[in-house]
Amino acid sequence: MPCVPLRATRLGNPVCPAKCPTDKVTRRLRDHGEGGNVTARRAPSPTYRQGTSMYTLYYSPGTASMVVHLALLETGAPHELKLVDIDAQAQRDPAYLALNPRGVVPTLVVDGKPYAESAALLMLLAERHPEAKLAPPPGTPGRAAWLQWIVYLSNTLMSTYRLWFYPSELGGERHTPEVRAALRHKIEAVWELLDAHLAAHGPYLLGAEFSGADLLLTMLMRWSRNMPRPATEWPALRQLADLVRARPSWKRLYEVEGLGEW
């Protein structure tokens, strides 16, 4: 899915367990000076199920990998981070393309196999770690609403952001004023709908209870910070963002990924 081309920062020396299934990829990225990694092996939290294997997340700070990183932090599951330096075009390295043929982040290695698509990875982690309560239990009305919001955010905001940040995907080096206005209107229409929903049923997307859908939405709100009208100018959306930004997972991600501005 789309990512904002923010500058990636090296966060640590390359370290990879001897039996890591992605050693070759990490070595190729490292040898080309295009990547690095930091190991984030957290002690099991009450939500972590003993026996679950460690995850490996290929990420770039502030991009679509952000929601997957947040979900990993919320679960407390052991994980390793491997930086994909977007500025250095590391996402186009053949070693990385072997994991993710589209050449985008994130990629999450689960049980030795790579998977992509940030919304799908969020749903996967919620399913594998139900104790983290990133999603309501299957079969409940809340679960149906949760799935609806995840797909809605992915289909509307994420796809439109891709066009907003990458004019070349519409066939030009930059947007015409008409195209730019149309994309802005489409994004802001989503904020209007979400703000009305949160004002009536919030403070979270599912009401009183936090879920992984709020992580996804807050990440997407962050991407609007330099747009003509940022999402935080809608009061109910700003309230949600404040709640999510106060969570330990958000604060920890900022420390690890070296992010500053909201």
Model confidence over 154-195: pLDDT tens digits? 999 999 999 999 999 999 999 999 999 999 999 999 999 999
Q: Report whether pLDDT(220) > 60.
A: yes
Q: Report whether pLDDT(201) > 70.
A: yes
Rounded CA gap, 99 and 20, in Å? 14
Handedness of CA 147, 153, 156, 161 (dihedral sign): negative
Which tokens hold the place of 28? 């190729």
* Average pLDDT score, the chain: 85
Extract long-range pairs of 149-154: CB within 8 Å, 24+ residues apart: 149/205, 149/206, 149/213, 149/217, 150/119, 150/122, 150/123, 150/212, 150/213, 150/216, 151/119, 153/119, 153/213, 153/216, 153/217, 153/220, 154/1, 154/118, 154/119, 154/216
Average pLDDT over residues 211-228: 98
Confidence of residue 29 (pLDDT cuts 50, 70, 90): very low
Q: Report whether pLDDT(3) > 70.
A: no
Residue of 104, 102, 84 lying closest to 34 (CA atoms): 84
Domains in the chain, start-ordered, CATH in brackets? Answer: 23-133+251-257 (3.40.30.10), 141-247 (1.20.1050.10)
94-146 pLDDT per residue, tens: 999 999 999 999 999 999 999 999 999 999 999 999 999 999 999 999 999 99
Q: Model pTM?
A: 0.82
Compare 210 and 12 and report the one with higher pLDDT: 210
Residue of 155, 133, 130, 128 lying closest to 210 (CA atoms): 133
5-22 pLDDT per residue, tens: 333 332 222 223 223 333
Contact 20, 26 (CB under 8 A): yes
Distances (CA, A) of 137 to 12, 19, 151, 180, 211: 37, 35, 17, 40, 11
Which tokens hold the place of 253? 């991600």
Within 10 angstroms of residue 155's Cβ, the number of other Cβ atoms is: 11
**How confident is the model at residue 56, as a pLDDT?**
98
Rounded CA gap, 88 and 31, in Å? 13
Within 10 angstroms of residue 7's Cβ, the number of other Cβ atoms is: 11
Confidence of residue 261 (pLDDT cuts 50, 70, 90): confident
The DSSP H or E segment spanning 24 is helix 23-31
Average pLDDT over residues 224-232: 97
Rounded CA gap, 85 and 262, in Å? 21
**How confident is the model at residue 187, as a pLDDT?**
98
**How confident is the model at residue 125, as a pLDDT?**
98
Our CA angle for 154, 64, 127, nearest 5°, is 65
Q: What percent of the chain has pLDDT over 90?
A: 79
Name the β-bridge partners of 35: 84
